[in-house]
Amino acid sequence: MNVTLRQLRVFECAARLLNFTRTAEELHLSQPAVSMQIKEMEENVGLPLFERIGNKLFLTHAGKEFQHYARVIFQQLDEAQGVFDEIRGLRRGRLELAVVSTANSFATQLLATFSQQYPFANISLDVTNRENLVRMLEANERDLVIMGRPPESLDVELAPFLVNPLVVVANPSHPLAGKRNIPVEALNNQTFVIREAGSGTRIAMEKHFSEHGVSFVPGMEMTSAEAIKQAVQANLGLAVASSHTLALELETGRLVILDVQGFPLLRHWHIVHCKGKRLSPVAKAFQDFVLKEAERLLPAPDGKAPKRSVP
């Protein structure tokens, strides 16, 4: 059956009004045009859809069956139009977001507030390490990614939205805990629990120590911010970590920030997507929301004035 949507619209109207003249008026067509569309439909169907008895027009049995399907089709189209209208209006839509594990603590806060504004948005969140984020970007598997140091090897669009202070953390029993204005050289030969190779935090730490001639002792290597914190709590060494991840540990006294000269190191969080990617309305809304609201919703966690910025 090869029936066009235009023919179906003419048939639905004629079947409802049972009058070709009134059908032509409602659809702003000529009566011959209506008759031609109905004739072509009947030829496609292979059965008469209308019959005229006297001056009255009636649906045939086939016409009544076809009217049922026409109503279902237009109902489905109306529902689809409603869904697309909702998507355009951001009442619905899907957002696939991936964040580096270090950003998980505040990313969920952002999503919670965003979800209050767009309650019908369907949101998927992946929390992973930098290596997987780069792979996801390369494969265009997520709408947006939140990460620290964007990949230089990929063609991406990015926007910084929040300062990411990196601080030196220690177990409260560490000999340097509580001391003020600690020279960075005092970290020489200290054991550090470190992130995996390629981590933005590790790169920034190694670069800063190298510039100041500090030679630290690499301790355990961890792939998540949570594991780093637990290792420092267990007195396995010092660590350089984002202060965004430390609120609970600092509040409960399980960790302390060392007052080391040159710290915090100031990096930035970025919201990233593949260059040329067409963001859905809800993804674009989330991107705009983050760029506009992140600083207001996520104030500087350590309350310190910036001391040093690294690229």
Residue-wise pLDDT tens digits, 244-296: 888 889 989 999 999 999 999 998 999 999 888 888 888 899 999 999 998 88
**Ramachandran region, residue 204 (left: φ > 0; alpha: ψ -120 to 50; beta: rest):** alpha
**Beta bridge partners of residue 164, listed in sequence order:** 267
Strands 239-242, 217-222: pairing is unpaired
192 residue type, one letter? F
Tokens of 97: 């977001």
What structural domains and CATH numbers belong to the chain? 5-88 (1.10.10.10), 94-162+269-309 (3.40.190.10), 163-266 (3.40.190.10)
Q: How many CB atoms lie within 10 A of CB 153?
A: 9
Q: Could you give the 3-state DSSP secondary structure of residue 223?
A: coil
Q: Is the pLDDT reported for residue 299 higher than 70?
A: no
Which H or E run contains 255?
Answer: none
- Single-letter amino acid code for the residue at 269: W
- 151-188 pLDDT tens trace: 888 889 999 999 989 999 999 999 999 899 999 999 99
Cβ proximity of 120 and 72 under 8 Å: no
Q: What six digits make up the tokens of 163? A: 């300062």
Task: Report the predicted TM-score, pTM, of the whole model to 2 decimal places.
Answer: 0.66
Q: Which of 33-42, 76-85, 125-134, 241-250 has the highest mean pLDDT?
A: 33-42
Residue tagged 């080391």 (tokens): 260
Under 8 Å between Cβ of 172 and 255:
yes
222 CA to centre of own chain: 26
